[in-house]
Amino acid sequence: MIKKSHFSFARIVLISAIVFSFNEISAQSSSTILKDLKWSERMALSVIKRAPKAWQVDNNEKPKWDYKLGLLMTSFEKLHQETKNPVYGDYIKAYGETVVNPSGEIMNYKLEDYNIDYVNPGKFLFELYKRTNDNRYLIAMQTLRKQLETHPRTNSGGFWHKKIYPYQMWLDGLYMGTPFYARYTVEFDKGKDLNDVAKQFEQIHLHTLDKKTGLLFHAWDESKQMPWANKETGTSPNFWSRSIGWYMMALVDVLDYMPKEHPKRKELIQYLNDISKAVAKYQDKSGLWYQVTDAGNKEGNYLEASGSEMFVYAFAKGAKKGYLPASYKKLALKGFDAITKKLVTVDADGEIHITQVCASAGLGGNPYRDGSFEYYIKEKIKIDNSHGLGPFILAALEVEQ
């Protein structure tokens, strides 16, 4: 005969084992991903299911330090802070330990390449360093900050996109460099470089703004030597939604570190309001935005996921923080609802996929990219490309609040 106390203890152990097992299965996404979870977690668990190691995203064959994976880790970091679920923190930590060795050296990183994209993954290192107190991450951040010390600039003070793209500023580069730069100067240098952070936005606004639409062209060549550059203004010829999305995300993220009393804060908030007003005009009735922002349903143009997600994120966060009017939250909710209904597919086991993601787009290079409408619409469109994963989680976290 089993004594009552023994039975109770056995029952507790059994129940605990069942709960632990269920949590492990759910957390590792090795079975069904529950549909009653929030979209942010559904996507994160789907990512982990497809790529148990973060570097495997995009079917990469080997680990690398990469701006897209940095974007994804940044989204996981925000999700980890929101949920406190260690599964997300462990996923980030495993990637960090893979791409930053114990001496603080960054995998496949060369400072002398002066590639602004390489700075972006540095953002997830701040919280990882705080959580682990592992000095490798501090050394890595110091290395990236050192890059910005000597990174080539336009004559007017803007960071070149890359050394191989001399005298060029791209909207993408604002997201790649300025949020890291802003946080580093606030946390380690008492904010001494915030004016320089603001200068990057000032230069982009001054040189890429189209006064007719209020939108920003993808890039500017100060030298006006690139075949894609307007011979009078130096701007590229079209508006690409994801590039504008990069710029808007950079603004709302940099403002996190811009003190209320800082003289440049109002200027950055005004830039955010200006571009938000312009972007809102081009939101399709579906709630989404097109690959080429202002071209509507012109033949070949399509409703693109990553740009739409970035706009949703910037609108929702901007409204939450009080940078934008509250009405932008409604636009964000409309946009995110359209993303989940029109661009997300769900497998029988609950795994979700994001469709209609532009795989990549740029200017110049080899083969040459001319920035034409035809160029943007002919770039590969993929499912679950990392450009669409991180922004989905970021957007979801903002609209879920």
- Is residue 349 part of the annotated active site? The answer reads no
- Catalytic option among 66, 117, 134, 172: 172
Can you give the length of the chain in residues? 401
- DSSP designation for 258: S
CB 386 within 8 A of CB 60: no
Tokens of 235: 């701007």
Question: Within a 10 A sphere around the Cβ of 337, how many other Cβ atoms?
Answer: 14
In 189-281, alpha helices (H): 194-208, 241-254, 265-281
Give DSSP secondary structure letters for 68-97: HHHHHHHHHHHHHHHH--HHHHHHHHHHHH
Cα separation of 363 and 371, whole Å?
Answer: 6
Three-state DSSP class for residue 17: helix
Which one, of 160, 73, 53, lies nearest residue 117 by Cα?
A: 160
Which amino acid belongs to residue 212?
A: K
- Residues assigned a catalytic role: 172
